[in-house]
Amino acid sequence: MPLFEGLGSGGEKTAVVIDLGAAYTNRTHDAVSPFRHLLVNPRDRRVVIIESILCPSHFRETLSRVFFKHFEVPSVLFAPSHLMSVMTLGIQSALVMDCGYTETLVLPESFDCK
């Protein structure tokens, strides 16, 4: 069973997940268009942003400021893309290889707490 199932109460609305890659960070209008295209009210939705572990902190701060002040979302979660790819499988450890357009990352992930 994946780890993300069962989190939250049944009455909560699903989160909006935005995956930012090299192609999206160069165009600022793509970060704000999901709410317009999905026809959802951003004040009622939590936002999950899947990002690279190499993303600069000032980009995170700027993006969170836009979501909180402009869209007035209740919460923003920044999650590393490599961790989320393993979490969806529901396994304890993996070697994640991300082959992108401009870079390739190989990261070991382990959730063993022994």
- Of residues 92, 4, 81, the one with CA closest to residue 46: 4
pTM for this entry:
0.61
Residue-wise pLDDT for 3-55, tens only, equals 444 444 555 666 666 666 655 444 455 555 666 666 777 788 888 888 888 88
Distance CA 20, CA 51 (A): 6
Asked if 49 and 20 touch (Cβ cutoff 8 Å), the reply is: yes
